[in-house]
Amino acid sequence: MNPELSPGQYVVLCVTDTGSGMSSDVLEHAFEPFFTTKEPGQGTGLGLSQVYGFVKQSGGHVKIYSEVGQGSSIRMYFPRHYGSSVPVETEADEIVPEAEKLETILVVEDDADLRAYVSDALKDVNYRVISAPSAQAALTTLLQDVPRVDLLLTDVVMPGINGRELGRRAQQIRPGLRILYMTGYSRNAVVHQGRLEEGVDLLEKPISLAKLALRVRE
């Protein structure tokens, strides 16, 4: 009965909580990129939009059921697969490019877990890594004469100074500095929202080791 879906059998995954729930106004915007009801700096507004994009790319559908004071249920519908299972290629089978010499990458990411993951992954492929939890901390590093920085790898959406503004200031401090941006949503979304310009180098999350190493090497 849903016009967005093809008739057939679907598998549904349902996640339910007992939280404060959502009002009808919030429900209308819940899947929009960068929409959040949290205080500034407490949320990016990309969580549910990433879920929506992933489910749609899988040919499925997602719907939220929620009542204020009662909690929420999110149901994700995926097309049922018929036939034998398809073996999944592991990252171990992929070619992971390594650094050509001891190059230094400045990683800027306000999420501590993701910052640690990206930093460790780059160290594993022989890069020297400096990490910063904010744009302000990154700019402090860049204002110093040392160390040399070969690449700035920065998140786009951060509290305070965002990735776009950081990139602009970083190139003023160090002309010619190469910049690779990371984002939790699609290129079209961040460009449309004015978060980045067309044509910039962009790495979309989630980030596998192989994809990270390839884009950094490029």
pLDDT digits (tens, 9 = 90+) for 137-155: 999 999 887 788 999 999 8
SS3 175: coil
- Give the per-residue pLDDT at 79: 92
Q: Which of 20-29, 45-54, 61-70 shows the lowest mean pLDDT across its residues?
A: 45-54
Q: Say which residue the tokens 């490029």 belong to.
A: 218
The superfamily in CATH containing domain 10-79 is Histidine kinase-like ATPase, C-terminal domain (3.30.565.10)
- Give the per-residue pLDDT at 197: 53
| Alpha-carbon 217 to chain mean position | 19
- Give the per-residue pLDDT at 84: 78
> pTM higher than 0.85 for the full model?
no
- Give the per-residue pLDDT at 106: 96
182 compared with 1, residue with greater pLDDT: 182
* CA–CA dist 181, 166 (Å, integer): 10
- Give the per-residue pLDDT at 194: 47
CATH 3.40.50.2300 residue ranges of the chain are 95-217
Q: Which pair of tokens denotes residue 10?
A: 């679907």
Mean pLDDT over 31-57 rounds to 74
- Give tens-digit pLDDT for 66-98: 999 999 999 999 999 888 776 666 555 555 665
- Give the per-residue pLDDT at 96: 61
* CA–CA dist 56, 164 (Å, integer): 28
- Give the per-residue pLDDT at 95: 59
- Give the per-residue pLDDT at 185: 53
Average pLDDT, the chain: 82
CATH 3.30.565.10 residue ranges of the chain are 10-79
Mean pLDDT over 14-34 rounds to 87
CB 36 within 8 Å of CB 25: no
Cα atoms in the 13 Å half-sphere on the side-chain side of 207: 26
Mean pLDDT over 109-136 rounds to 90
Q: Domain 95-217 belongs to what topology?
A: Rossmann fold (3.40.50)
- Give tens-digit pLDDT for 163-214: 888 998 999 999 999 999 887 654 455 454 545 555 566 777 777 888 888 8
